Chains A and B, each alone.
Chain A
């Protein structure tokens, strides 16, 4: 019975061991719910669970138990795993679109919560949360342990009351010049009236102009919202109150944006809409785009402005059915010819931790990622910590990488032709989707005219719009199926995949052709029913294509012909 505990809950386990037969006499009619009892005998269970096949499926389980003894269906319901709820698509995720203000409210709620627990100013709570990358649980745990240590590590004064001295322009340690009404700022080297001096609780005093220049340079030039004292090696944080006081409106707005961006960057469940000048964000409360989640799902979302993008990789389109990691490989491959791609390829690498693209524009090989602060080696991309004793691995890596690079090159030449086959089809659907849209723009005009001329209502002439929308959606799917096919290992699954692809493609082309047929008042009703039917059919084919691929991701049935890096 050793394996049983893997699938049975402890309570049912005990229950059955102690009263194996007691309840088996109950008639099912008396049972409150089918799943509330278990009546399988020990024998039946040991037979069943001694089966080597632990990953049984529903029907197997049915079969086994029925064979062993003729219990009522309800009796073994407890032992069979619940069927996964039938979702529209296996990769649909729940999400909300939020405005920047709503996002700020969410931040404020987090901040107030922590401020309430610790009994500190919201400002302090915010700084602490930022320092802990908004990991509330870890912060609370460590703060309860030792508030002093946590505050110091976050660059906050241990005596919290001093963070907001009513006279923040405290002349604490200003060097008194002969007439102590003035002081000399060590940064700009000018002598100024003493009330221009400002210091954080650490006591490092500089003039307000220098503080201002420093803040502006950090915020505007470096895009850093986490600003520390100007003194070398001093970690004291500059409070928002200073930022508010010292900065002009545009810099302050930038600061606010950076704060929000930092919050979003630290939160796996929030992503800004990647469309230019769209300031909405999308929150997925129950979905984290982890590498393993993204290896089986494509979390396509729409922001409140109806921009479609992928929550996993930020790609500005619905790239189902292909997963992010492969999409990235494909797009990079496609863009290889362009100058930009060449430049990015030769001048940048990605942070091995957060995959931000990084250009090294000087300095040594010891890199610190601006976004996630991961320290790594530019040469071997390994973590820097390993270089303390074994940094010369980099040299060895160079030799190997040289060989690999040459190998990769010859392989890519050989596969170029195969690649072009898929690429041409990929590009063709992209192009066709654009043409379909253009064609519709022309058709629309005609439809409007017809609406005036004939007796059709506005609703009735919408069929072409629906057709085009569906067509574009399906072409997007088709496009990515070609990219996917390029990376799939040939087997039975891919044969089915290509069948689905062919069926969808055939239907799509038929609909596309229909869209080009002339619209005449005499034939419009026939055209309408034809197009409507075909639209529904195409939609169905698209669903089948997507559902089938989604299911096979869940079942790990897809085998790639290249090694797919973790996203």
Chain B
């Protein structure tokens, strides 16, 4: 095999790139690709990302596809699209934003159901923190780095489509041009909204409002438009009805037949792509990983998406007991015992050493009747008691049912007639409120 033949031998996965230019004959796949591209409508704006036509020729991209053991059903073009951040290509048909929205919901759903069935008594703040630790942007960004996906230094149509395409934000510590101030100290022209009502008043964010208004990690949304006083939607995802639009879903005319909506009814009539805002590497990495999960779901179905989630998300290790931080563990524990009908907790000294020395150690257990709920060691009697109560609370909240009893809702989703029966799962009444 000569070098030219190597150059032409672009197989689906093992692509070899040569820096020497060989006069290669066009193979069948490229001819077909050209034929298909006849219907392609070129983007009249300033194209900032490589064309999707380059995807089949990228060695980086096919190597990434193979390295992640992605199914054959997921084409390279879609993988390339997953790598295009909205900050370089604002067109929703070409960037990864629609895929990432789907992927974010899928990853969030699979993680939440896993956490809630495995640890049914997790308090809400811990659930939020665990959710962030598994599928939050920093975890997904670490995942991108562990896959060996590199990001472009600067976006452009000539870069390899196997790189993460993003337009980087100018660091806040950089000096603003022509000013004596840093970027982060400059007055911001663009405000972001959180989707909350009356957000200009900075009301306290309690746990209930975090659940209702904020994102799946209980953090403030940052991508929504700033709310004005009255026209805020009741919750972030709610459809906004406009009386002047006659859409089939919200049509007042009930006598007419139900018509299918046009495919692009949700797009504005004249698409105007504003100058996309720059992003950070962490945000773009998370968007890429989420888009990949969404693309897997669309191309290869639920099993592939769940397999991806199990292999890449649930295989990670999170010490859940470190997420707890009790303010008043002894009080919480006595409330818990009263709620559950246990005898009130009593702290007893189990063993001690060096009471009169500089470094005494007291091992204290909290008992409810004859049952030891928890044990802790401390340098004083009180410290041991508090640690023991915290250990008891941690043991209560981190209870996990037997593995054979755990069943996730997605396991029986759409499998009604296949013999798999849903086992009811424990639903706890919630954490102790004191």
Genuine A/B complex: no
Residues of A within 8 A of B (CB): none
Residues of B within 8 A of A (CB): none
